[in-house]
Chain A
Amino acid sequence: MSQTFALLVDSYRELNARKLFWITLIISGLIIGAFALVGIKDNDITFAGATWYVYDHDMAVLLYKSVVLSTIAIGVWLSWGAIVLALISTGGIFPDLISSGAIDLYLSKPIGRLRLFLTKYLMGLLFVTLQVGIFAVGCFLIMGLRAHIWQPSLFLMIPIEVLLFSYIFAFCVLWGVWTRSTIAALLLTALVWLMIAAVQRVEPAVLAIQVALEKSAARIDHDLHDVEKQQANLKPSHDLLGWNSTYLREKHKSDVNNLPRVQTNLARARFFHTMLADFEIVIPKTTETNNLLDRTIISDEEVARMSDAGEGRRSRRNEDFLGASRQDVRAAGPEVQQRLRERTPLRIIGTSLVCEAVVLALAAWIFCRRDY
C-alpha cells in the first residue's frame, strides 16, 4: 500500500512539474469564464449584456444546454482539446519509465512488474480526473448561478471523460511501451484516434442513408400496390378524360423503375453499415461514450422538441438522395437519433472496455516480458 501511495504522490508531483498541466487548467478556466458570460434571464438568453430573445424559457434552457454546454464546452473542449493536451502531457509517462537508468530503479524494488504497470497506467488517468473534476465543478456553479440550472448529473462528466481518455491512453501506452518513444507513441495514437473518430462519424451517416432508403423502398412498394389496386378498381365512368388512368400508369411506371434502384442502394447501404457496425463493435466508442453525457444533460423529450423546432430550417433540397426521397431523408434523422440513443451504455462502455483491456493486456505483456 505504501508503494501505491508513493506512486500516487509521485504522479501528482510529476503532473505538477509539467507546464502543460497548468496551461490546460488555465484554458479550462478561460472556457468556464467565457461560459459565465452566457446566462438565462426570464425567457431569453443573455451574452455579455446583450440579449438574444427566445421568448420561451424552456427553449432558452434547451439552447443553453445544447449549444453552450454540450457542443462547445463538452463537445469541443473536453472531448478534443483537453484530451489532446492530456495525451501530450501523459504520453511520456511510459517511455520515461522504461528508459535506461530509470526502469532499473523501479524493477529492482520489491514490486511486481504488472502491478507497477497498472499503477502507472491508473496514475496517468489522474491528469484527466483532476482537470475534468475542476472543470465540472466550474460548469456546475456557472450553470447554477447564471442560468439557474442546478444539474448534479453534470458531474457524470468526470467518469465519462476519464473513461473516454482511458480508451485513447491505452493505445498511447501500448505504442509507448512498444516503441519507447514519446513522439512515436503520440503520432500513432493520433492515427488510431482519427481512425476511430472517422468510423464513428461515417457509421451513423451510413445508417441514416440506410434508414432513408428503407423508408423509400417501403413507400414505393406500398405505392405500387396502391396504384395497382387503384388501376384495378378504376371505373371508366370515373375517368372519362383518361387523366386518372394516365396518372396511375405514369406513377406505376415511375415506381417500377425506382424500386430496383432503391433496393440496390439499400443493399449496398446495409452491407456497408453492417461492415462498419461490426468494426465499430471492436473499437472504443469515444463519440458514443461522449454522447452518453449528452443523454444525461438533454432528455429524449428535449431532443424531440429540438427536432420539431429545427424542422423548418432543414435542408430544402428537392432532389432525391441515392433514390431516397427528400421526405424520407428528413424522416430518417430523428429515427437514427432514436436508434443511436437506444444503444445501451452497457453495450457502448462494455465493448469499449473490452477493447481497452485487450490493448492494455498487450502493452502489459510487452512491459512484463521485456529485458531492460
Chain B
Amino acid sequence: MTNAIDLQNVAKIYRGRVHALQGISMQVRRGEVFGLLGPNGAGKSTLVKIMMTVVHPTRAEGTLLGQPVGSKGILARVGYLPENHRFPRYLTGRQTLEFFGAMAKVDRATARRRATELLDTVGMRDWAGHKVSTYSKGMMQRIGLAQALMNDPDLVLLDEPTDGVDPLGRRDIRDVLQRLRERGKTVFINSHLLSELEMICDRVAILVHGQVARQGTIDELTRHNQRYEIELALPDPAAARMVIRGVLERIGASLAEKAPAGSPVAALPAASPVAEMEFRGPTLGRLGYMHAMPSGAAQALADMPPTAPPWPVPAFAPPRFAVDAGQLAGGQWVEVEGPWIRAGTAEPEAIQPLLDALRGAGLVIRRVMPIRQSLEDLFMEAVIDPASGRAYAPGGTRR
C-alpha cells in the first residue's frame, strides 16, 4: 500500500535567500496519525502549505494520496484546517460548512447532511445558526475541524487544531481524530502541544531549520534514552553511599565519580571532567544530577528559564548528592545519586539482579520506575544546537 504522504526533496527558498525548507523527505503511512513538530520558523506551516498548494515549492517531488504534490484534483480527498483560519464573518456555522463543502466539490444534499452530522460531532449543533463572528476561538476551531471533514477526506491536515480549545474540547477533538484513525483515515497534525501529540500520534517528525531532525514512532525515537529509576528508602542517603556502591560492585558493576558513556549527560557539549556538582539555585538544581560543566555553559544554563531545560531532566529535583557513575555487568550505564539509582536499560530482566542484590543487602526499595524520554524532552533535544548549548534561532536559514 502506498503512503498517504510521500515527500522527497521538498525545498522552499523565499526571495532567493531565505531557505525555509532544505530538502525535506517524509513519509506518512495510510491510516496513521502523524505529528509534525518543530520550533517557530522551522518550516512546518510552509511544508503543510506546499502540500495544500497555498505555497509554491522551489523544488518538490513526491505524492499526496498517490497524486503528485501540487495537483489540485487530489484536494477533493484532502481536508485542511489552517492555523488562525478566518471564516467569512457574515456566514453562520452551518453556512460555513456548506459553503466550504461546496468548494470541496461536495454536492448540496450531501453537504447539508454532512454539516448536520459534523456540527453534532464537534458539539456545535446549538450554535449552527449563529454567525461565526459571534464564536469564541475554541468554537472557531471546532467549526474549522468540521469544515476540514466536510468532504469525508482520506487525508486530513490539521495545523494547530487544539489552539485556543479548552481541555474538554481538546478531548473531543482527540476523540474525533481517534475515530478517523479507526476508519482508516490518515491524519497529519502540526502542533505545539506536545503532550497532545504524544497521546494521539503513531509517528512524529521534528523539523528544525527546514530539515527533518528526527522521524519515526515515538517509541523508536525515545528508545535510546529509556531507563529504570530505583528509589531506596534511606534514612541517611549520604551515609548509605558506600553501601550502595558495594552492592553494585558485588553484581559486577564498575563505578567511579564520572559520567559514563551512553548516559544522557554524555550528550552534553564540551563537558568538563565529572566533579561534584556546584548547585546554582533551582534551575541548575534540576539539572544537578548530571555533572559540572565549563563555566560558560553552566552560566548559559543558569540563564535559561527553568521551564525550558535543554535536555531530558528527571521528574524530580534532587537534593545535593554526589554522583557515582559506571556500568552494569551487562554494559548498561548506571548512576547512583543519594537514594536514587538510574540504569540505562528498558529491559526488566537487566534490572532484576540489581533489585535482588539491593534487597539482599537489606535495603528497602521504595519504588521502581521505567522512565521513557517524553516527546517534549525529545523535542528539546532536537532544537538545541549542540555546539552552543542554546536553542536554534527561529526562522529559515539566510544565505
Which residues of A are at the interface with B, using a C-beta cutoff of 8 A?
2-3, 5-7, 9-10, 13-14, 16-17, 99-112, 369, 371-372
Contacts and interface: CB of A to CB of B under 8 A. Distances in A.
Interface string B70-107: 00111110101011111111110001001110111111
Chain B's interface: helix, strand, loop or mixed, by majority?
Answer: loop
27 contacts: A2-B105, A2-B106, A5-B102, A6-B102, A7-B103, A10-B91, A10-B99, A13-B88, A13-B90, A14-B90, A100-B86, A101-B84, A101-B86, A102-B85, A102-B86, A102-B88, A104-B82, A105-B86, A105-B147, A107-B53, A108-B53, A108-B54, A109-B75, A110-B72, A110-B104, A111-B72, A371-B55
B4 to A, nearest CB: 16
A200 B108 CA distance: 49
B241 interface: no
A142 B90 CA distance: 35
B82 A2 contact: no
Contacts of A103: 54
B215 to A, nearest CB: 24
A109 B54 contact: no
Given A3-B103, A10-B91, 9 more contacts: A6-B102, A13-B88, A13-B91, A101-B86, A104-B54, A104-B85, A108-B78, A109-B100, A110-B75
A105 B82 CA distance: 7
Given A104-B49, A104-B52, A107-B54, A112 B72 contact: yes
A103 B82 CA distance: 10
Contacts of A111: 72, 103
Nearest 7 pairs between A and B by C-beta?
A17-B90, A6-B102, A104-B82, A101-B86, A108-B52, A108-B80, A109-B103
B56 interface: yes
Interface in B37-82: 49, 52-56, 72-76, 78, 80, 82
Nearest to B77: A110
B75 A108 contact: yes
A9 B89 CA distance: 15
Contact of A99 (B54, B75, B86, B103): B86
Contacts of A5: 102
B35 to A, nearest CB: 20
A235 to B, nearest CB: 90
Nearest to A16: B90
- With most chain A CB atoms within 10 A of its CB, the pick from B87, B91, B104 is B104
B161 to A, nearest CB: 14
A6 B99 contact: yes
Contacts, number: 88
A321 to B, nearest CB: 57
Given A101-B86, A112-B72, A107 B52 contact: yes
A100 B82 CA distance: 9
Given A10-B88, A371-B55, A105 B102 contact: no
Nearest to B89: A17
A123 B75 CA distance: 24
Contacts of A371: 14, 49, 54-56
Contacts of B108: 2
Nearest to A103: B54
B103 A369 contact: no
Interface in B136-190: 147
Contacts of A105: 80, 82, 85-87, 100, 147
Given A101-B86, A104-B49, A369 B105 contact: no
A110 B52 CA distance: 10
A372 B72 CA distance: 16
Contacts of A101: 82-86
- With most chain B CB atoms within 10 A of its CB, the pick from A2, A100, A109 is A109
Given A110-B72, A112-B72, A371-B54, A104 B80 contact: yes
Nearest to B51: A108
Given A104-B80, A105-B82, A3 B102 contact: yes
- With most chain B CB atoms within 10 A of its CB, the pick from A7, A16, A108, A111 is A108
Nearest to A369: B56
Nearest to A4: B102
B219 to A, nearest CB: 32
Contact of B105 (A10, A100, A110): A110
B84 A100 contact: yes
Contacts of B87: 102, 105
Interface in B101-127: 102-108
Contact of A2 (B83, B85, B107): B107
Contacts of A106: 103
A50 to B, nearest CB: 46
A13 B103 contact: no
A5 B108 CA distance: 11
A253 B163 CA distance: 92
Contacts of A6: 98-99, 102-103
A209 B103 CA distance: 57
A5 B101 CA distance: 12
Contacts of B76: 110
- With most chain A CB atoms within 10 A of its CB, the pick from B49, B75, B82 is B82
A372 B102 CA distance: 22
A47 B198 CA distance: 80
B191 to A, nearest CB: 17
Nearest to A6: B102
Contacts of B53: 107-108
A17 B108 CA distance: 23
Contact of A13 (B82, B95, B102): B95
B83 to A, nearest CB: 8
Contacts of B78: 108
